[in-house]
Structure 1
Amino acid sequence: MVSSLQRLSVRHWSLAGLAFCALMMLVALGLEHIAGLEPCPLCIFQRVAVLAAAAVFLVAAIHNPRGRMGAVAYSGLSLAAVIGGIAVAWRHLWLQSLPPDQVPSCGPGLDYMMDVLPLRDVMAMVFSGSGECAEIDFLLMGISLPGWTLIGFLVLALAPLGMVLSAFRERRAALA
């Protein structure tokens, strides 16, 4: 198994990351449109992080960089998107862990805020949290959706790490 993973190229790791992003979005959209769960503002930002990582993986798969610098660049960009998603999911879990008397009150909807406020103010308001982000609407095996999303982002982080390791392995093989 380990030797199979070591033979994967940057393109393979990128395609694997892209496929996992597609799976995460498929689950999110299925929960929204089939199960009827409306995403809160933090859920939407988690989706943005998945889409940002997917965009980097797509470009990396198409480009398939042969050098170490390209692989490191794509890995860094995709890892930045994944880390952003981890931070948002972590914040979401923290809000859900607050006692009911400490949960922030619900604010205006994200659509309204995006229409009326500058992006910086929207980001500040969303990350300060709201009551709707603290609600736990769905549990699977005792874990809420932000918890599953956090796990998904941690798994997704393996793709950029694999990209870098693959590039260094190819470089080492070329020098030998």
Structure 2
Amino acid sequence: MAVGVTSLALILLPPWRTGHVLGFIVCAGLLAYAYYLQYVDGLEPCPLCILQRVAMAAMGLVFLIAAFHNPGRIGAHVYAALLTILGCAGAVVAGRQVWLQSLPKDQVPACGMSLDYMLETLPFTETLKKVLEGSGECAEKGWVFLHLSIAGWTLVFFIAMVAASLALSRRD
């Protein structure tokens, strides 16, 4: 009897609650590592990094709520939709940063205002626009593992977390 790849993947997936607890643990672990890099190694986050942290924290919170709620079929799809939206938003921001990091040095935007200063002085929509445009500090790679920067690894994890949440929503 042949088992399809999709069926095999669903068999190998953990149960609903366990999968969402694992999703929360991954998000919390990634955030803990980001704070370790900031406060222990002295690697200051750029505005795009901060937006990625917000998206990761929001995903972690939704994973945790989903694990405790343990909804029915429709609720599982609602949680998957929320996680997909948050994950795609985080992936877009991480992808933007990866793109900025790939620019030649002469095309990198100049360093701009800090996120705190922009939030205090500019309207929220203008702050968001300026943050997404990126600045010089967002183009710095700082740390590289297996040829991927932190932003590259964050992009990989956002995509993986979206895939996991969609797979878990299909689980009976």
CA displacement at 1:3 relative to structure 2:
6.5
TM-score in terms of structure 2 length: 0.90
- Which residue, out of 88, 101, 117, partners 2:106? 101
Aligned match of 2:42: 36
Q: Are the counterparts in 2 of residues 24 and 152 from structure 1 also a CA contact under 8 Å?
A: no
Structure 2 unaligned regions, length at least 5: 1-7
Structure 1 unaligned regions, length at least 5: 171-176
- Which residue, out of 14, 19, 24, partners 2:25? 19
Aligned match of 2:53: 47
- Which residue, out of 1, 5, 15, partners 2:12? 5
Aligned match of 1:90: 95
Paired amino acid for 2:47: P
Quote the Cα distance in structure 1 between the aligned partners of 2:164 and 2:170. 10
Q: Percent identity?
A: 44
CA displacement at 1:163 relative to structure 2:
2.1
Q: Are the counterparts in 1 of residues 101 and 141 from structure 2 also a CA contact under 8 Å?
A: yes
Runs of 4+ in structure 1 off by over 6 angstroms are: none
TM-score in terms of structure 1 length: 0.88
- Which residue, out of 144, 163, 168, partners 1:163? 168
Give the aligned length.
165
SS of residue in 2 equivalent to 1:157: helix
Quote the Cα distance in structure 2 between the aligned partners of 1:126 and 1:115. 14
Q: Are the counterparts in 1 of residues 52 and 90 from structure 2 also a CA contact under 8 Å?
A: yes
RMSD of aligned C-alpha atoms? 1.5
Q: Are the counterparts in 1 of residues 10 and 167 from structure 2 also a CA contact under 8 Å?
A: no
Q: Are the counterparts in 2 of residues 14 and 159 from structure 1 also a CA contact under 8 Å?
A: no
Quote the Cα distance in structure 2 between the aligned partners of 1:20 and 1:138. 20
CA displacement at 1:150 relative to structure 2:
1.0
Paired amino acid for 2:153: W
1:70 and 2:91 matched: no
Aligned match of 2:137: 132
Aligned match of 2:5: none
- Which residue, out of 55, 61, 64, partners 1:58? 64
Aligned match of 1:143: 148
Aligned match of 2:123: 118
Q: Are the counterparts in 2 of residues 18 and 58 from structure 1 also a CA contact under 8 Å?
A: yes
- 1:49-101 per-residue CA deviation (whole Å, 9 max, x = no partner) reads 10110111111111101x21100001110111111111111000000111111
